[in-house]
Structure formats: structure tokens, C-alpha cells
Structure 1
Amino acid sequence: MKTYDLSYISGIIHAKAVGNTNFKITYLSNDTRRIIDGLNTLFFALKTNTNDGHKFVLSAYNNGVRCFVVEHLPDKAAEMPEACFLIVENSLTALQILATAHRSSFNIPVIGITGSNGKTIVKEWLYQLLHRRIEITRSPKSYNSQIGVPLSVWNIDSNTRLGIFEAGISMPGEMAALEKMIQPTIGIFTNIGEAHQQHFTSLEQKASEKIKLFAHSDIIIFNRDNEIINKTVSETTGLNTFTWGYQEGCDVRILSIYKHAQNTTVHINIHSDHHRFEIPFIDDASIENVLHCLATCVYLKQEMNETIEGIQQLKPVEMRLFWKKAIHNSYLINDSYSNDLNSFKIALDYLYQQRQSNKLTVILSDVTESSTGNKAIYEQVVRLLKDGRINRLIAIGEQIARFRSLFENEGISTSEYPSTEAFIQALPGLTFNNENILLKGARRFRFERIANILELQTHETTLEINLTAITHNLKAYKNLLKPSTRLMVMVKAYGYGSGDAEVAKLLQFNHVDYLTVAYIDEGIALRKAGITLPIMVLNVEESGYNQLEQYNLEPEIFSFHQLNNFYSYCLQNGITQQGIHIKLDTGMHRLGFLPEETEALGKKIQEQNILFVKSAFTHFAASEDPDEDDFTHLQADLFIKSCNTLEEQIGYSFIKHCCNTAGIERHPQYHMGMVRLGVGLYEGNKKLPGGETTIPVGSLKATVAQIKHLQEGDTVGYNRRFKATKPTNVATIRIGYADGLRRSLGNNVGEVFINNHRAPIIGSVCMDMCMIDITNIPANVGDTAEIFGMHIPVKEVAQKCQTISYEILTGIGQRVKRVYIEE
């Protein structure tokens, strides 16, 4: 990494420096949770629609950061005597100016990639095809935004011989800044589609905005058969092109594409030379992405035989990190598809974020960039391990073994093995207990064999929880709120079936204000898992009063009987200023104080002078129903009047909240001091008022146990509810009503998604199994079927069961293995 003097950076971004500028800067950060080396990090306090980085300056300072780019001095600047503040007009603009200056200091070829889909896949496959012969710096994950691009470009250093960076935009006018930072010499325009369309009037307008990335590029590579892109390129002056497609005149001309069961044969012509080869994919998107990569390799004059060999070895880009239960009460992140420094940093962040204990172990292979055993690479690995608080390193490979002393000198317990086989042979004698394990290895080490041994072998039915989707949905709802409105998130009922501790850790990571659980034991479990956020408990029994104080939990109080009992407990145990939350009943008529009881309630709380009202809230009975809006308005009016009465009696104000998920979406005038987000965080496929669409969080999946070929007249399942009227192929999958698959989905009511097809559930759903009709659907034993998820919305399943999504999500059995993924 290149290092700059802070005084030099101050001049580049035209900042007013307050404090000592005698610092060296190697890293940039806008996130206190991802600080690698505080003393050498420059923290940018960025303002977004949902947050203000200035609030986290003190936290960054406490993490060792001393250098900050801010738009004003933070409130607690006096508590940071060693800090240097670079004051600028706009901190995001300053970040982009700095990244632009850094990029300009390197005269290297850079590939810029834009398009509606496929950017990350094309980038990663190009890396797979090219990295063996050239040192590459590329965007980590899909860092392609106004913030992600400068952080990506900053990774270019003196070893970089080729840069590959993505650029994504969501509205007109954004591409100019990205073009200045990336300065691509080679452009790839993948495709144009509906993604992020809400701020564009047409696909043509979006294409004309995206192509601005290539304003100064030497060449643009694209599919000439794409009419919109081809038209946009032809109407843009000054662009040199290198094209692929079926049309005559393409630099890489497709003669034929033929799909087989497991792969695709492609026949192309390049300057009268014919080439026929296999692609290890059959879906159209993958074929398109491969051809973008092929054309790029041809343009770069890589040997055709080398390119074709590389294409045949391409692996699906695993865009997600899996968090699974492992042996001996441990947890495992399996990230064994690549091992370069960028992805290693991301995996370490995820390990620390989701840790269940402080015992952190990394199983690491030779690093991809270190084919020559570069000591500087492993010095960076040591720094990452140290800053990630890793206790134990298991090093696998001949290169990494040479640098064992680097790790041990930093106090990291290290053991080494020359190969994966040697480690597997030694595994029976090794101890793993209550640990958090990151498995990070280059593909050639085949670490999936280690994962198979370490993973806890349980029921093959899984509920995949997409933590990235939760983050997306959370931000989408935050965008609907004013900065002053706090956010309480419901994690009761095992996080709506998604897992309470795991989801709560992510919510804490994303700075929500409050969590809510149904019962005390749920709150205790969160505290034991390391959750420090305020937690409101909805249903508190007298037997659990002592645990409220012990675990710093805050009860909901909904009746005078409960209030008096809790007050007596606090009085007897010398507890003062115990926070409580008052439930007001404005029309739901489930729990809560009625409006006419509010004055007496306030007087009693004031007289007792022990219980402190943290918030008061009510629950809208029908906030999702436009036909009931008059009643919702009535509830809100009663709530406001009741809160005013309560405040008059107790003599102080408190947080007020009445909006549930539907209230957040439909009644912004009632957001007040806080809102409560529930099923909206988890359900997905909902378009919000701001134009964003939520993503399904959970995917319930089961594997095929057996396939049978039935003849006309054969029957299936209990009571012979299905009778074949023609030759029928039936697959039995490993999920039943004990797992949460409702019996009402049997007999052709429900469907599953398998191998890009919907298959009906036939016969009666059994306790542990169900049967599906796969006639005309290619399937094999071991294939995975989705019960709900990205292809079959949980809301659709609920409607077929004549219930609501809540019931489906919370009904997933505990024996179903939860797998947590981050994309």
C-alpha cells in the first residue's frame, strides 16, 4: 500500500487542518467497524440519507484513529486531544478527490466495468483468467458506488499492473465522478436492464448515462447484438470499439451456441480463425459474462489456448459468505473459493461481526498474490490477523509456512501443514472447542474437504438467512425516516424464524436504536451473545423480575396490576430509576392502558418516583388497510392525547412510537420519535414508497432424497391422495410438516422451485418428507428445491395456506439448520 503524508493529503483536498498533521496515512475508512490500523488510517465522516459519520468520530478515535476528514468539528473534539481534523466543505467530495489523485499517480491499464447486471461476475472471472500472469488490483465485492469506488481505487499500489473496477449508478449525473476516479483505459459494457430503473425515464437514458464511464477510454468492449447499447455507442462520438456477437463485422463473431445438460459448446470466429470450446455453464447470463471475458482476453492478446483453458476451469463466483454451526459448539465461515487480500479483509470483518465467542481461528492457505512467496504480502496478512484479533492460525501451503515467525512474533499461535491432505490427516488429534473458524483458501487447496469435516452434520433441510438482504431492507426502511426518528426492530419469535442472536448482531452492527423481544429468556440469550443495545421485553412475568435488572432489560408495562407488582419488587430490592415502556390501548384492545386511565397512571408513576418511562407506544390495528385509515387516524389522535396527559403528570417527556411496519410505509406523519420495524425486515418483495424494493431474507431449501418413475394409475403418499394419470416422475424431498411445511400445501396446492422450474407438491405432506412432480424437469438425487425464497415469495406461500407471512416464517422448525450468508 502506498503511504502519504497527512499534510500532503490536506493540500490535495483543500482542507483546513486543526491539529498536528505529522501523520502517515496508508488506509482510508468511513466505517468504525472496519478499521485495520487506526494510527495509519484517515477516517472520513460521511453524511448519507440515513446517517452522519460525525457521530462516530469519537468511536474511531477510541479505536486508535487520529486523523479525520470532517465537515465541522465534532461535538466532543475536546475529548480527542491527539486528533487532527481536516475540515472540508463536503467529505464525500474530498474522498473522491483524494482517490482521483491517487489513481492519477499510476500509469497503468485499468478496466472499467458498468452495466445493469454481471459487473461483479465479469470482474471476478477476468481476475481468474488473468491473475496468473499479471498483478491485478480489483474492486472488493461489488464496491461500485460513489463511496465504494474511491475505497477500491485506493488499493492500487506499486505492484499493480492492471486494475479492474466496477462502476454502478442509480440516478443521472453520478457517472462523471466515478469516471474521474477509475480513469478506465478499457471499458466493458455488460448489458442494460431494469435494475435501479426508478430514477431513469427509459433504458436508453440509463445507457447514455452509463456510457459516460468510457469518455476517455481507449476501447469499449460490448455485445453488438444488444440494440440499446449498440445504438448508444454509435451515437457517442470518439469511442473505439471491440465487439462480440452474431453479426458480421464483430471482432469476436459467434457462429453457434449449443447447450448441453451440464455445459455449453461455443463456436466463434476471430480474424478468420475458428475456435470451438466448452463453457461450464448453461444459463444465458453466465454465457454472456463468459463472452465478455473472452473478448477482453482477445483484446489483451492473451494466447487463445490459455484463455480457453482458463474458461473451462471457471468456477461460479460465490458472492456470499456462509456462517454455519460446526463441531464442538463452534461456528464456521467457509470462504474457500478464493484467497486474495481484498476478500480476506472482508471475510475477517464478517468473522469478527458474527463471532459467538472471543476464540477466533483462521485456517489459511497460501495467498493468491504470493506465488513467489512475497514477504510483503504476508506482512499485510499478519497485520490483518492482528487487527482482526485472531488467536490462532492454521497455515496450509509451502509458501505461507516460510513466514511462520512473522505470525508468532505478533503472538498468534501458529501451526503449519504443507498441504490440505496433511492437515486432514492431523485433524483427529487437533482440538476445536467453542471457536469461531474462518476457512480461507485458494481454490487449488480444495478447502471444501475441510469444511465437510468441520461442519456440524445435521438435517439437510436448511433455512438460508441472507444477512446482506437484511442490511438492504434495513437501509430501505431507514430511508423513509427522518434523521431524528429512532428505529426499534423486532427480533422476537427467534427473529421471525431467522435466528435471534445472529440477526441481532447484524442490527447492532448497523446501529439500530432498540431491539424488542417477546419474553425475558429471549433477551437473556441476546445479552449472552454480546448484544449491548437497549432491549424492550413485551411479556414480563413476575418470576423474571430479578433477571430484568441482571441483564439490563426494559419491560413493557400494560396494566395497573403489573405496574404495582413491578414497583413493589423494585422498592423491596432497592432499585431506583428502572426504565419501563408504557403500552397504551387506543383500539387494538389486546393489552395496554386505556386513554381514560392515563391521568391516573401518570399520577401513580410520579408518586412512586422509582420507575422511569423510557417510551410510550400503541399498536395500530389496521395500518396496512386503506379502508381503515380513519380508524388509524383516530388511534393516532388518542395516542397523542394520552401521551400529553401522561407527560403532564410525570413532569418529563419520553419517546413516542405507534408505527409498525405498515405504519412506517403508509403513515409517515406518525413516525414521531421512534418506529417499530417487524416483518418488513424479513419478508421481501415489497416496493416501498421511496421506490426501493425489499429483498427476501430467508430461503427454505431441501434436497432430493429419491426419484421414482410412476406409471398411469400409481398413487403417492398417505391415503393415496395423488393418482398418476400418465407416466410421472416423482421426487421425494427432505422436508415435512415437522419442519414447518404446512400440510395444506399438499395435493397440488403448493409448489417448490427446482432447477429453474416450479414443481407442484403432490399427495399429502408427511412429517419429514413430501413429494413433488418433476415430470419434464431435469433433476437428480441431491438437487436442491426451494420452498420459499427468491423464486417463490413467502407471501405467496402464506396466501396458499390462507394465513400471513408471520406464521410461515415463525413456523420453521428448530431442527431446520440455519445457514447465514453475506453476499
Structure 2
Amino acid sequence: MNKIAQIVKWCNGALAVDVDINAEIDELATDSRNIEHPETALFIAIKTNLRDGHLYIADAYVAGVRNFLVSRHVEAGELQGANIILVKDTLLALQQIAAGHRKQYKLPVIGITGSNGKTVVKEWLYQLLGGRFSIARSPKSYNSQVGVPLSVWLMEPEHQLGIFEAGISQPGEMEQLEKIIAPTIGVFTNIGEAHSEGFLNIRQKINEKLILFRHAQHLVYCHDHAQLNECIVNYVHHVQDVKLFSWSAKQDADLRVTKINKQGNKTQITASYKGEEATVTIPFGDGASVENAMHCWCVALLLGLSQAEIAEGMMSLQSVSMRLELRHGLNDCTVINDAYNSDLTSLQLALGYLDQQKQHLMHTVIMSDMLQMGKADIDLYEEVAAQISRRGIQRFIGIGPALYKNKAAFRKYKKLRSIFFRSTEDFLKNFHQLTFNKEAILLKGARVFAFEKIGLLLEQQVHQTVMSINLAALKQNLDVFRAELSPGVKTMAMVKAFAYGSGSYEIASLLQHAGIDYLTVAYTDEGISLRKSGITLPIMVMSPDASSFDRMIAWNLEPEIFNFRSLGMFVQIAQTLQVKNYPVHIKLDTGMHRLGFEAHDMEQLITLLKDNPMLQVASIFSHLSASEDPKEDDFTALQAKRFDDMSSQLMRELPNSPLRHLCNSAAIVRHHSLHYDMVRLGLGLYGVDGSHSLEGKLQQISTLKTMIAQVRDVPAGDSVGYGHKAMADHDRRIAVICIGYADGYLRDLGNGNAYVLIHGQQARTIGSICMDMCMVDITNIPEAKEGDEVTVFGNDLPVTLLGQWANTISYEIMTSISQRVKRVYINEE
């Protein structure tokens, strides 16, 4: 372990408070909610445009942390017994600490950069080389200015090889990452348009990324990328110590591909190296996988693996899923599937996600053996058991011979019920003896243990049509809007209407974890459901039924008050229940004429509010009618003027200072002067740019997919579907797909008004949309077959397009998706 005194030297810091300079640091923490070993952790208060880590120092202290790295004065009296290191820039200090840590290790390190494929190449190298080396590597896709130092910090004395990826979004960023990774072998995967906004052109982006390899001994790349090759050759002319190791399918190279033979879902690659030919087979049929495999082949040769070892490893490569999947399970369970690999670091990340599932009191972990070199089994599983116990998990199910052998490491924790099986097959045979009911279940297994079989047993089988919701995209959309706000402006997020069809609790849980200030639902029952699931954020109810005011108070929900009738009835309930200063939200009508008090109501409203100690106005707000439309900016300005006048009149008379909010998603972007104290995020949060001003920065979070149930040939002259109306004017091949109007696929989308994507190609609807099925034309998609995947909407088929086809808006499409359609929540890291 490194000591505080060493940390101070590495980051050129000053000990503002010196309690124990010999305190040992094992963990670097930037999130107060995810600290594994608080007694040996250093909490680093990183300040970004979106969040200031200094605001969470108290939380880290309460969690047990006694070592802090800060960039501004902190009251020592509030952190008794703590070491406090003061620096100018905590992010730079984190990077310097990681660079100092890296210098302690004289081992080969592979540094990977490029536009695409970095994470896959890193994980495949881990799969290829893991049997020979004890490897430290980036968790998931930790390749940012914060992620890289946290990754390199994971290097320990038992490691024999490091594999780290680095990504940048603007010039100057790679300078620091190079000092941290200090690769001996470099891999430049490829170059493309991704994340190009911060660069003048592709050439500048290549040259910036090449800085990662200025002290490397070898650089692996594909000679066939013309611009990349040109830049690399010029770069090596100035940095002559770097030896190039290229591969090519078109010209001479160190590893020359002579033949590529695709055989279904496999690809056979033959290449020549040093005059000898060798052949490998990878279990993938796409071009990107071939490119990634070639980079791995080159690195394996540089590290001395034989062609036979490489061929054996290539055939065993597993697909890389860098995401957690949250699915609804049997008996009201939630299943978190993270069964793509199993090591200590990824386990810690997955356990942090399990912690967020507050809707369940019971948490279970099902885990396989860790195929991890470098730690003795007893030490490894002692640490696993400690992590599981610290998280308060009630049940642990271990699968594999090593876990079975090390049962004692878990059995010593009396509050943890532990069960062990020698193999996955053994678990499956005994599955009927286990009970899973209303709990959160984490699946964490190495690929060879085939945990997908366990997942199938645990998941609720609902429908062949599935809507995937990308929670990482939702978080990115939130950050896009937060970047538009001035410091101190709060955010309220709409999770009404089942979070626009995406699933209320799962969305609310992520928003709570992301630090949103308020949630909004339409009805009381929605709010109660969130409370029962463990959501503690303030929740505003927009359309409260007066008969549910008592339940709102019981569940700490805050009503929107929009007329004197609702105000009077709420006051009566508050008096009966003897509550005081209960938060309410006053809605003003500034011109939309839907709900709200008007200007002539202000005097009476002020009198009633001032005379009622039972209430306290938490916020005053109104709703803009056309904030997205530049042609209506004059009307938006008129609404804002009315809001200013009425809200100011109220605030002058109220004893407290309520929050004011007016902006919806479009207004956040188009009307910065109207942000007031808080803004409301609705459809924009889910990836729809109503303002048309964000230039593709938002990501559509939902993808709706189904499958082909049957393929049939329809001769010319025959009809398709109800009504005997959709006549085939020529011989057609059609697919019956498993989605209909009962799933939310509107009838207006039938009769050729819409298309779906099959194998990336358009297949138009034929005939009317049925209740559970519809038909599409696949005459020009000969490879389409029964069981194939069908995209109804997603990144390549925007939901806004379906709205246009159905003569409606995205809201209706999204909120129409039936509850019977299975939701899968993806959390990409």
C-alpha cells in the first residue's frame, strides 16, 4: 500500500491537516456512495461543470473515510481525525498520483486507443493472455480522464501485465493519460468520426491520440487505414524509438492476411508472419470482429505466444458485453445480469449497482469461480466474502470447484446465508429446491460457467417483443441539459406515464442516484409506487385527486395546487391530520389555459396562503405552450412576463422563498434567461430533441425489438390481413412479426405507412395492424427467416419517425407501449 506521505509528494500537495502521514491508502474514491474500504480510502473531491465533489465530503466522512484530497478550504473541525491534502486541481492530482503509482512497476503495459474497438480488444487480449499472465486492466470502458487513473491504480505487485484503454474528446487530454499508462506496447485500433467535435479534422485527432505512444517500444496498427498509416509513419519519423508492427489484408505488413473465409457465425483467417503461414478461426462473422482479432494476434506475437497458442485462444474468444442488464424476473424479482466475466473489480462495480435496487429488501448474489491469476484462492475468496458481507447481502450462491472448496470464507459471516454448488449443471439440477421471491438477484459469472442458462430460469417470460432502455444514455441526456444550466439551478425530472413508457422505478432510481433534485408524477398512485420501491427524492404530483390528499400526506408526496377548490380541500385534510408547513406547488396559468391560477386570483390566493400555517409553498411554476417554436417566441416572452408578475407578487407576501420553474426541455436549451431556480426535464431526458437545437447530442434511450414468427409466400392476387383489402400486385414474401396494437404499435402504422428493420433493411407493413401481430414485406430481404430480430424503433429508426407516420407525436408512441412488453434495462459503463 502507498502511504499518505507518498501521495502528497506525487501530487505536489500540502497537508492542510496532518493526523497520520503513515496512513495507508489502498483505494482512490471519487464517489462517496461507492467506497469499498473507507478505512484505507482517499476521497478525491473532483469538481466538474456538472458536479462538485466537495459537496459530498461529509457523506464520505460519515461512511468512514479519513483521508481527503481537496482543492479548497475545508473546516477541519467537521472532519476530526482526518488527513486533508490541499491541491490546486484535484483531477490533475488524481492523475499525478496514478502516474506515481505506475512508475513503481517495471512490467509490460499495453495501451489501447482509437475510435472504435478499444474495449473489445482489451477484453479479448485479457481472454487470450489470461492463462499466461496475471493481468491488471481497465474495468469495463474506464478510458476517460478520471477512468484511466482509477484503472492504473489497480496495478498490484502480483501483476505481470497491464492492459489499459485511453479515450480523448479534445486536444491536450492524451498528454496526461500517457504519463499515467506509460505503455510499452501500443495498439491504435482505427480512426473514425466518433467524438470528433473537439478536433479540427481527422488528422489532428490521430496525432493527438498518437501522443499515448511517444515512449512505447512497439505500436500495433492496421496498414490499410490510409490516413492513419500516413500519420503514424510521420510520427515515427520524429519518435524513432517506436517500432511499428502492422497488419494488412491488402499490402505487405508484419502480419499479412492472405485469406478471409466467412462461414456463418465464424471467420477463418489465414496470415503470413516471418515467411510462415498460420490460420486462426474466430467465432464471429462480422468485419469489426476480424479487425479486433487481428490487433490481438499482433500483440500476442509480440508477447511471444506461439501460433498454436494463438489459434487455440482465438477459437475460444467470447463476445464482450460491457453492460449490466436489469430484467424483470420470476416472482416479482429483479435480475441484474453481469455474467460476461468475473473479477474483483467488476464485482465491486456490480455490487454497487445491486445496492441501488431499493425496491427489494432481499438481495442475492449468484457468482461463479473467478478465473483470476495472481491471488491465492484463499486470499481471493476471503476478499470476495468480505465485499459481499460489507454490502449487507442476505444470500450468496457460489458455483464452481474453487468456491465450493473455499466455503469457509463465507460461512464465518453469520448474517450471510451461503449455498454452494460444484458446477452450473449441479445448480440447475437443484434449482427447484431454491426459492426466489421479491428480491434483487445479481448474476456474476465467468463465461465458461454458462450463466445464461441460469438467467433463462430466473427471468420472467413475458413476450417475444422487448423494449431495451439504455440507462447510460438517459444519464448522458441528463448531463447534456445540466450543461446548459447556471450553477445552482435545480433539476426536476418527469417520470409520469410510466416514465414515458420506459418504466417508472428503474428510471427514478437512476435519476435519484444521479443527483436530480425533484421527481414529478401525474397521479398519487404513481408516487406511492415509487415510495414503496425505495425512492426518497421529493415528488411533486401534477394531477392530484382531492380524494387522495390523505394518502399523499401519508407517503410524503407534494401536490400541485391549481385552483381554490383543491387548495381548500387540501387545507381541510392537513388540518385533520394536524400537519404544518406541508410543501405544496402553486401552478399559474400564463396563457396555456389548461390548469392554474390567473392574475385576478392573486390577491385571494395570497390571503389564503398567508393564513394557513398548515402549508408551505415549495415552488411556483407555469407551463410554456410553444417554447420549441421560434415563431412563437413572442408568445413565450409574454408567458414569461405574466409568470414574473404573478410569481413576484406571491413571493413578496410569502414568509419563505419558494423555487420558481417555468422551462421544459425545449425551453432549457432555447430560453436560458427563463431558467429561474429550477427547470423541468421531460421528453428531452428520454432522447427526443424538441428544440432541434442540440445537434445530435441526445441519445434515444429506448429500442423496441420483436421477432419474425413466420415467413410465407403470397402469390399475386391474394390478400394479406383483415378486410381482404391489401392485395398483392405481384408475388410477395412476407414476414409475420410479433407486435400489434395491443403492444402499442398503432393501427395508423399499417397498410404501408411504416417500416421496420430486418437485417438493417426496410420492411414495410402490409395490411392492417392486428391485435398481437402484423405483416411486413420481406420480398427484397432474401436472408430473412423465422426467429430473426426485428427493430421497431431504435437508434437507426427514430421514434420521431413513427410519430410522423402515425400523424402524432413521440409522446404518444412512447407512452402507448403496453405493459405486457418486456422491459430490459441496460447500464453501459
Aligned length: 820
1:728 and 1:261 map into 2 onto residues whose CA distance is 26
Single out whichever of 549-558 and 230-239 deviates more from structure 2: 230-239
Alignment match of 2:394 (pick from 367, 381, 391): 391
Give the equivalent residue in structure 1 for 2:799.
Answer: 794
Which residues in structure 2 correspond to 1:342-491 (within 5 Å)? 342-369=345-372, 374-411=377-414, 412-491=416-495
Q: CA deviation at 1:506?
A: 0.5
Alignment match of 1:14 (pick from 9, 12, 15): 12
Give the equivalent residue in structure 1 for 2:94.
Answer: 95
* 2:663 corresponds to 1:664: no
1:715 and 1:14 map into 2 onto residues whose CA distance is 78
2:694 and 2:777 map into 1 onto residues whose CA distance is 41
- 1:106-164: per-residue Cα shift (whole Å, max 9, x none)? 00111111111111111111111111111111101111111000000000101111111
Do the aligned partners of 1:683 and 1:805 also contact (CA within 8 Å) in 2?
A: no
Give the equivalent residue in structure 1 for 2:270.
Answer: 267
Single out whichever of 624-633 and 21-30 deviates more from structure 2: 21-30
Q: CA deviation at 1:599?
A: 3.3
Single out whichever of 721-730 and 504-513 deviates more from structure 2: 721-730
Q: CA deviation at 1:822?
A: 1.0
Give the equivalent residue in structure 2 for 1:175.
Answer: 174
CA distance change for structure 1 residues 8 and 629 in 2, over 3 Å: closer, same or farther?
Answer: same
* 2:327 corresponds to 1:329: no
Q: CA deviation at 1:512?
A: 0.4
2:372 aligns to what SS in structure 1? helix
Which residues in structure 2 correspond to 1:452-601 (within 5 Å)? 452-601=456-605
Give the equivalent residue in structure 1 for 2:649.
Answer: 645
Single out whichever of 425-434 and 576-585 deviates more from structure 2: 425-434
Do the aligned partners of 1:742 and 1:765 also contact (CA within 8 Å) in 2?
A: yes
* 2:714 corresponds to 1:710: yes
1:299 and 1:250 map into 2 onto residues whose CA distance is 14
Single out whichever of 727-736 and 464-473 deviates more from structure 2: 727-736
* 2:223 corresponds to 1:220: no
CA distance change for structure 1 residues 89 and 323 in 2, over 3 Å: closer, same or farther?
Answer: same
1:480 aligns to what SS in structure 2? coil
Give the equivalent residue in structure 1 for 2:320.
Answer: 317
CA distance change for structure 1 residues 684 and 195 in 2, over 3 Å: closer, same or farther?
Answer: farther
Structure 1: gaps of 5 or more residues: none
2:277 and 2:731 map into 1 onto residues whose CA distance is 44
Q: CA deviation at 1:692?
A: 6.3
2:694 and 2:594 map into 1 onto residues whose CA distance is 32
CA distance change for structure 1 residues 332 and 408 in 2, over 3 Å: closer, same or farther?
Answer: same
1:539 aligns to what SS in structure 2? coil
Which residues in structure 2 correspond to 1:201-212 (within 5 Å)? 201-212=200-211
Alignment match of 2:814 (pick from 806, 809, 823): 809
1:349 and 1:662 map into 2 onto residues whose CA distance is 34
Q: CA deviation at 1:685?
A: 7.0
Give the equivalent residue in structure 1 for 2:251.
Answer: 248
2:549 and 2:245 map into 1 onto residues whose CA distance is 72
1:418 and 1:685 map into 2 onto residues whose CA distance is 52
Single out whichever of 212-221 and 334-343 deviates more from structure 2: 334-343
Give the equivalent residue in structure 2 for 1:152.
Answer: 151
Give the equivalent residue in structure 2 for 1:70.
Answer: 70
Q: CA deviation at 1:283?
A: 2.4
Q: Which amino acid aligns with 1:92?
A: L
1:742 and 1:301 map into 2 onto residues whose CA distance is 59
Give the equivalent residue in structure 2 for 1:229.
Answer: 228
Single out whichever of 439-448 and 518-527 deviates more from structure 2: 439-448
Alignment match of 1:290 (pick from 288, 293, 304): 293
Do the aligned partners of 1:179 and 1:212 also contact (CA within 8 Å) in 2?
A: yes
Do the aligned partners of 2:138 and 2:152 also contact (CA within 8 Å) in 1?
A: yes
1:791 and 1:440 map into 2 onto residues whose CA distance is 31
Q: CA deviation at 1:364?
A: 1.0
Single out whichever of 725-734 and 561-570 deviates more from structure 2: 725-734
1:314 and 1:210 map into 2 onto residues whose CA distance is 27
1:204 aligns to what SS in structure 2? helix
Q: CA deviation at 1:265?
A: 3.3
Q: CA deviation at 1:215?
A: 0.8
- 1:599-649: per-residue Cα shift (whole Å, max 9, x none)? 332232112233211111111100000100111111111111111111112
Do the aligned partners of 1:623 and 1:629 also contact (CA within 8 Å) in 2?
A: yes
2:594 and 2:233 map into 1 onto residues whose CA distance is 65
- 1:764-815: per-residue Cα shift (whole Å, max 9, x none)? 1110011222234323322221111122111111111111111111111011
Q: CA deviation at 1:670?
A: 0.9
2:744 and 2:575 map into 1 onto residues whose CA distance is 45
CA distance change for structure 1 residues 725 and 619 in 2, over 3 Å: closer, same or farther?
Answer: same
2:498 and 2:827 map into 1 onto residues whose CA distance is 19
1:303 and 1:43 map into 2 onto residues whose CA distance is 44
Single out whichever of 387-396 and 499-508 deviates more from structure 2: 387-396
1:331 and 1:761 map into 2 onto residues whose CA distance is 35
Single out whichever of 804-813 and 439-448 deviates more from structure 2: 439-448
2:331 aligns to what SS in structure 1? coil
2:419 and 2:280 map into 1 onto residues whose CA distance is 43
Q: CA deviation at 1:355?
A: 4.3
2:506 and 2:308 map into 1 onto residues whose CA distance is 47
Do the aligned partners of 2:220 and 2:299 also contact (CA within 8 Å) in 1?
A: yes
- 1:731-770: per-residue Cα shift (whole Å, max 9, x none)? 2111110000011111222111222222222221110011
CA RMSD, 1 decimal: 1.8
Give the equivalent residue in structure 1 for 2:116.
Answer: 117
Q: CA deviation at 1:266?
A: 2.5
1:456 aligns to what SS in structure 2? coil
* 2:827 corresponds to 1:822: yes
Give the equivalent residue in structure 1 for 2:194.
Answer: 195
1:782 and 1:351 map into 2 onto residues whose CA distance is 33
Q: Which amino acid aligns with 2:672?
A: P
Q: CA deviation at 1:571?
A: 2.4
Q: Which amino acid aligns with 2:333?
A: S
2:229 aligns to what SS in structure 1? helix
Do the aligned partners of 2:571 and 2:614 also contact (CA within 8 Å) in 1?
A: yes
2:211 aligns to what SS in structure 1? helix
Do the aligned partners of 1:488 and 1:676 also contact (CA within 8 Å) in 2?
A: yes
Q: Which amino acid aligns with 2:163?
A: I
Q: CA deviation at 1:14?
A: 2.6
Give the equivalent residue in structure 2 for 1:54.
Answer: 54
2:329 and 2:129 map into 1 onto residues whose CA distance is 35
1:581 aligns to what SS in structure 2? strand
CA distance change for structure 1 residues 199 and 70 in 2, over 3 Å: closer, same or farther?
Answer: same
Which residues in structure 2 correspond to 1:732-811 (within 5 Å)? 732-777=736-781, 778-811=783-816
